[in-house]
Structure formats: C-alpha cells, structure tokens
Amino acid sequence: MIYLTKMQIRCLLSTKESYNSKVMNTIEQVSFKTKGYQIVNITDAIQEFVNRHNFVKGLVNLSILHTSASLTVQENASNDVLSDIKTFLSGLAPEYANYLHDIEGPDDMPAHLKTLLTNTNLTISVASSKLILGVWQGIYLCEWRKFGQSRSIIVHLLGE
C-alpha cells in the first residue's frame, strides 16, 4: 500500500461532486489471526478489500465483533509507539485490580477496559480507490488478550 503524501491527497480530492444513481453497499467479514497483546497494522488488508471490489469513492466502515480486541488509527512508522501504547494502557487498566469480573482470567477485564478507551468501529473515507489516511497513519487491530485468536472484522463499503 502506498501512503499518500499531502500533495497527492490534495490532487485526489480535486474530483468534482458526484451524484450517482448506483450505490455500492457491500458487507463482508474478514478474519485475522492475532498473537497475544499484539497491535497489528491491517491497512494493507483493508486496502486490498477496497481494490478487490473496485470501490472508488465512499465510506469504509470497520466494526470489530469482539469486546476484548479493538481498532485504532495510529502511527505507522515506529514500533516503539505501539510498545508505549501497550505499556500506557496496561498502566491505566492493570491486571489484578480487584475487578468484580475475573472469571475469564486476569487479562480479560483489562481487555474490556482497553477496548472501552479505543474503538470498536472506524469510518474511513476512500477517494480514487485509496483509503484516505495521513502519511504517518495506519489502521490497527489491537489484541488485548494474553493469547492470540481469530478476530473478525466487518468491512462495509458504501459509496460507488
């Protein structure tokens, strides 16, 4: 995936208003196999989905179907940023903090809280068949449980 520079985005966005009579309204489920405590860049996978459907312009709505994993748009250049995010959220929502809900393991309630503080859905615009993200932005799937698993995301294209 080619990230857009500021100049390129301006160029893409010089397209005229469109009033189309055909609306693409396509929904699919995409699954990702995660590792424990992983924040993984899924931008390329979402861009491939856009490409495969020849989606040119509109909204991509992403919904994660879990309550102990989440979505965020974050820095794509430095793995240290991702490590700092994990340390930060584990500091805010530590394990063994006298939670009432502890039957699913010490990492479960912290995972719900980290999900609360981030996102279960993101709505990204597409122009000229490309996800519109800043140069330093990527779309991330956050696995907040200790062990990896299969995580499902709904990808919904609404536009043209």
Tell which positions 15-44 bind a copy of itself, by CB under 8 A: 15, 17-29
For the bound state, the minimum distance from the C-beta of residue 24 to a copy of itself, rounded and expressed in Å, comes to 6
DSSP 140-160: EEEE-SSS--EEEEEEEEEE-
Nearest in space to 157 (alpha carbons), one of 12, 15, 56, 40: 56
Q: Closer to a copy of itself at the Cβ: 51 or 123?
A: 123
Pairing of β 137-143 and β 39-41 = antiparallel
Q: Closer to a copy of itself at the Cβ: 36 or 123?
A: 123
**Letter for the amino acid at 8?**
Q
For the bound state, the minimum distance from the C-beta of residue 35 to a copy of itself, rounded and expressed in Å, comes to 19
Query: Alpha carbon 3 to chain centroid distance?
Result: 16
**Residue 51 touches a copy of itself, criterion: CB under 8 A:** no
Q: What residues numbered 74-113 form the site for a copy of itself, per CB under 8 A?
A: 74-75, 78, 80-81, 83-85, 88, 92-93, 99-101, 109, 112-113
Q: Which of 120, 129, 146, 149 binds a copy of itself (CB under 8 A)?
A: 120
Span between the terminal Cα atoms of the chain, in Å = 21
For the bound state, the minimum distance from the C-beta of residue 47 to a copy of itself, rounded and expressed in Å, comes to 15
Instruction: Write down the residue that tokens 């080619």 correspond to.
Output: 2
For the bound state, the minimum distance from the C-beta of residue 36 to a copy of itself, rounded and expressed in Å, comes to 19
Q: How many whole angstroms separate alpha carbon 86 and alpha carbon 94?
A: 11
